[in-house]
Amino acid sequence: MEQDWIWGLIGGLLIGTGGAVYLLFNGRIMGASGIIGGLIDGSAGNTKWERIVFLAGVVLMPVILRPLYHEVDPHISENLVMLVIAGLLVGAGTRLANGCTSGHGVCGMSRLSVRGFAATLTYIFAGGVGVLVFRHLLGVI
Amino acid sequence: MARLLFALIAGGLFGSGLFISGMTDTTKVQGWLDVFGAWDPTLAFVMGGAMIPMAIAWLVAARLRNSALGTPLPPKPSPTIDRKLILGSLMFGIGWGLAGLCPGPAIASLSFGGPGLWIFVAAMLTGMAVAPFLRTRLDKPVAAE
């Protein structure tokens, strides 16, 4: 547990390196919600395969790395209704805001984008209030 | 073809980073948001770590006309903070707190997340499909409503 922050930092450096490659080679911003959303709403155009291949890399690397770990448990909630509500909010919200933790957070704030900071402060605030209300006041998560 | 290769490399780095950092564990994400409980600072290290190479990449990009593969670079960021940005981020934040999942880690966990994760992803994709209709509504001037 004490080394969690080191793995967080190493993982973060890898995430940022991925974003750097996507920007400097492909000329694109590495935002997960934008990459997925463009495939869903048909706005991807001629970047369709670039997005599909990117997502394939995201899915495949954990498959390769997983055997190195004793136990991998994502601790997904068993409350299916809540998962559906959360999924709808994450999907619609990130597309309305045009970005999520990767697009607005990692890529936006690192170029000092005003929208990146505004979005990141807003979703961290909303998430914090959400956990306070749903965990400590209502006890549903 | 080169674009696909670098997209695969970028996606692989992104997926590896999310997995290694622990961001595919919903308890770590909810722990970061749980300021009044057992607060977990890991996410701040992930975000900070990710912003280092990314900031360097933006500095390099500022000196280039095109990407290394000749594609255009993203335009300058818009300074406009509109209703969609704030409302969308509020919705995203609540969902993020509820499930402990945002789009990147949700996709990175597809191979080991199980049925609950797949249900979340299906709902997320549905939300993304609905978003263009919400966007059109929010784009209407307030006075016209």
Query: Per residue in B9-41, pLDDT tens?
Result: 999 999 999 999 999 999 999 999 999 999 999
CB contact under 8 A, B91 and A18: no
Q: Does A2 touch chain B (CB under 8 A)?
A: no
User: Two tokens at A58?
Assistant: 């995201």
How many distinct structural domains can be found in chain A?
1
pLDDT band of residue A70 (cuts 50, 70, 90) is confident
Nearest to B50 by CA among A49, A131, A12, A61: A12
CB contact under 8 A, A128 and B97: yes
CB contact under 8 A, B123 and A84: yes
Cα–Cα dist B65/B68, whole Å: 9
What's the pLDDT at A125?
A: 98
Name beta bridge partners: B66.
B72
Provide the domain limits for residue A25: 4-137
CA distances from residue B21 to A4, A52, A60, B16, B92 in whole angstroms, order as listed: 8, 23, 16, 8, 21
Each residue's pLDDT tens digit, B49-65: 999 999 999 999 999 99
Overall pTM > 0.80: yes
Nearest to B99 by CA among A37, A35, A75: A75
Give the closest-approach CA distance of A103 to chain B in angstroms. 10
* DSSP secondary structure, A15-40, as one string: HHHHHHHHHHHH-----HHHHHHHHH
ipTM score of complex: 0.96
Residue A37 · residue A94 · CB < 8 Å:
yes
Rounded to the nearest 10 degrees, how much is the dihedral formed by the CA atoms of B116, B29, B106, B54? 180
Residues 67-126 of A with CB under 8 A from B: 72-78, 80, 82-98, 100-102, 104-111, 113-116, 118-120, 122-126
CB contact under 8 A, B117 and A102: no
Q: Residue A92 pLDDT more than 60?
A: yes
Give the closest-approach CA distance of B145 to chain A in angstroms. 19
Q: Does A48 touch chain B (CB under 8 A)?
A: no
pLDDT band of residue A45 (cuts 50, 70, 90) is very high
How many helices (H) and strands (E) chain B has is answered by 6, 0
Q: Does A42 touch chain B (CB under 8 A)?
A: no
